[in-house]
Amino acid sequence: MDLRLNDAELAFRDRLRDWLAGVLPELPPAPDRDDWPARRRYDTAWQRRLFDAGYAGVDWPAEHGGLGASPTEQLIFLEETARARAPYVGANFVGLLHAGPTLIVEGTDEQRARHLPRILRGEEVWCQGFSEPDAGSDLASLRTSAVRDGDEYVINGRKVWTSHAEVADFCELLVRTDPEAPRHKGITWLILPMDTPGVQVRPLRTVVGSSEFSELILDDVRVPAANRVGEENDGWRVAMVTFSFERGTAFIGDVVESGNILRETVAIARATPARGGGTLWDDAALRRDAGRLAAEVNGLWALIRKNVSEASAGMVPVQGASVFKLRFTESRQRIADLASHVLGRAALTLEEHVVEDRVNTLSFTIAAGTSQIQRNILAERALGLPKEPRWT
């Protein structure tokens, strides 16, 4: 075991640092949270800069236009960009982290040629239409139907919690093509152009007050059969491929952010007078809580390095990914709580960054597999305990 980076990795890191130091000061100010067209422009412009500098698709294979970077280089990329406070992947998330990698593995040559270069250049924004009102954790119970009509599918149904739908060009859509088949056997993965007639996007207001996600109403939406990824009724397997890209590294930037918020909180505590004299930071209980959270953040870094090392060795860190998701999301919420406690009654406005964060991080233990589902996964797959009741 070894914590050191090798020469190539150090060179990769230094080149990236230099580039970030040059490019970040040139960026325009980040747009307003609710101005989605502006957010799309901002996020895709950043993607274009990454592309021009040769940093687009760090984890994508080189033959598909990516950087073909090793897992350790991906870690360096995500950690360094977050530390330098570069823009987050934002609206490019689904394209770069889900749809693109899925097309690389499962798509046809035409589909790859059509989409991959545009995703890399920030010319195409994707969203994910998996969840439905009655199919969340139990995704395989999804009901949105697609009926074959000549060389088209006719789609009817509803999707929900679709992030970035308002500004997306395409949607990775899971539909039911065989309602008679066992649940996992009748699903198909389709590319849905969002401008197809019959697609209606209804923004949903989140607890932060923003419209991060939407409801999709699909009413006789016609999609060419050529937009199918993988075989008809083989979509569950394709979706599992999609999910496999979600594990592991997606949250690295957020761990950097955890450390930042913790340090900002301490700085505020040091500067805030306490009742009866001194500052809030004189409170030993606060220091202990902050120290415990610092230990947690350091532990998460250690776990990331272990997961990345396992990925480098060709292993799939399923257990490590669930442990990470579970612990990261919960400690992230505790850090946000601590920050708000330090602010006290100043924490009564969402304008305060840490307060918005406190509300926003409520979603962390829900999205991408709830904490309860992560515990089920760990108990069953890692510990071999009897399985939950499941559809067959």
Partner 1 sequence: MDLTPSADQRDLRAGVRDFLAGRWTPDRLRAASASPSGSAAGSAGLDPDDWKALGELGVFALGLPEERGGAGLGLVDAAIVFEELGRALVPGPLTATFLAAGLVPGADDGTSAVTALDLGDPTLVAEHLGSSAQVVLVDDGLWLLPADALAAVPLDAPLDPLTPVWRVTDPPEGGRLIGTGADAERWRTRAAVLTSALQVGVAQGALDLAVRYAKERVQFGRAVGSFQAVKHLLAESLARVDLARAATWTAALAVDGPADRPADGGAAEAVSSAKVLADDAAAANGRCCVQVHGGMGFTWEVAAHLYLKRAWLLETCWGGADEHARRLAATL
Ligand X SMILES: Cc1cc2nc3c(=O)[nH]c(=O)nc-3n(C[C@H](O)[C@H](O)[C@H](O)COP(=O)(O)OP(=O)(O)OC[C@H]3O[C@@H](n4cnc5c(N)ncnc54)[C@H](O)[C@@H]3O)c2cc1C
Binding site for partner 1 (CB under 8 A): 1-6, 9-10, 13, 72, 76, 79-80, 83, 259, 262-263, 266, 284, 287-292, 294-303, 305-306, 308-310, 312-313, 315, 319-320, 323, 326-327, 372, 374-376, 378-380, 382-388
Q: Residue 379 Cβ, how far from ligand X at the closest point, in Å?
A: 10
Q: Residue 93 Cβ, how far from ligand X at the closest point, in Å?
A: 9
Q: Tell me the CA distances in angstroms from 284 to 269, 275, 281, 313, one per residue in order.
A: 12, 15, 7, 43
Cross-strand partners of 217: 158, 200
Q: Which does 262 bind (CB under 5 to 8 A by kind): partner 1, ligand X, none?
A: partner 1
Report d(CA 380, CA 392) in Å as an integer: 17
Tokens describing residue 88: 């987050």
Q: Residue 131 Cβ, how far from ligand X at the closest point, in Å?
A: 4
Report d(CA 102, CA 239) in Å as an integer: 8
Which amino acid does the sequence have at 237?
Answer: R
| 230: alpha, beta or left? (left if phi > 0; alpha if psi -120 to 50) | left
Q: Residue 149 Cβ, how far from ligand X at the closest point, in Å?
A: 25
Q: Which is nearer to partner 1, 240 or 382 (CB)?
A: 382
Q: Which is nearer to ligand X, 12 or 161 (CB)?
A: 161
The position carrying tokens 């040091």 is 270
Instruction: Yes or no: say if 99 and 106 are a contact pair by the CB < 8 Å rule.
Output: no
Report d(CA 265, CA 237) in Å as an integer: 44
Instruction: Yes or no: say if 300 and 253 are a contact pair by the CB < 8 Å rule.
Output: no
Instruction: Yes or no: say if 257 and 208 are a contact pair by the CB < 8 Å rule.
Output: no
Q: Residue 56 Cβ, how far from partner 1 at the closest point, in Å?
A: 22
Report d(CA 323, CA 333) in Å as an integer: 16
Q: Which is nearer to partner 1, 306 or 341 (CB)?
A: 306
**Residues of this chain that bind ligand X (CB under 6 A):** 127-131, 136-137, 161-163, 212-213, 363, 366-367, 370, 372-373, 376, 388
Q: Which is nearer to partner 1, 102 or 307 (CB)?
A: 307
Instruction: Yes or no: say if 377 and 314 are a contact pair by the CB < 8 Å rule.
Output: no
Q: Which does 152 bind (CB under 5 to 8 A by kind): ligand X, partner 1, none?
A: none
Report d(CA 95, CA 168) in Å as an integer: 10
CB atoms within 10 A of CB 283: 15
Which amino acid does the sequence have at 130?
Answer: F
Helix 7-23 vs helix 71-83: crossing angle, to nearest 10 = 30
Instruction: Yes or no: say if 54 and 95 are a contact pair by the CB < 8 Å rule.
Output: no
Whether 246 is catalytic: yes
Q: Which does 79 bind (CB under 5 to 8 A by kind): partner 1, ligand X, none?
A: partner 1
Q: Residue 94 Cβ, how far from ligand X at the closest point, in Å?
A: 7
Q: Which does 291 bind (CB under 5 to 8 A by kind): partner 1, ligand X, none?
A: partner 1
Q: Residue 138 Cβ, how far from ligand X at the closest point, in Å?
A: 6
Long-range contacts of 283-288 (CB under 8 A, 24+ apart): 286/338, 286/342
Q: Which does 137 bind (CB under 5 to 8 A by kind): ligand X, partner 1, none?
A: ligand X
For ligand X, which residue has the nearest CB?
136
Q: Which is nearer to ligand X, 19 or 189 (CB)?
A: 189
Q: Which does 130 bind (CB under 5 to 8 A by kind): ligand X, partner 1, none?
A: ligand X
Q: Which does 370 bind (CB under 5 to 8 A by kind): partner 1, ligand X, none?
A: ligand X
Report d(CA 245, CA 93) in Å as an integer: 11
Instruction: Yes or no: say if 127 and 171 are a contact pair by the CB < 8 Å rule.
Output: yes
The residue annotated as part of the active site, out of 123, 215, 246, 330, is 246
Q: Which does 131 bind (CB under 5 to 8 A by kind): ligand X, partner 1, none?
A: ligand X
Q: Which is nearer to partner 1, 11 or 226 (CB)?
A: 11
366 φ, ψ to 5°?
A: -110, -50
Q: Which is nearer to partner 1, 168 or 290 (CB)?
A: 290
Q: Residue 308 Cβ, how far from ligand X at the closest point, in Å?
A: 24
Q: Which is nearer to partner 1, 13 or 48 (CB)?
A: 13
Instruction: Show which residues are catalytic.
Output: 246
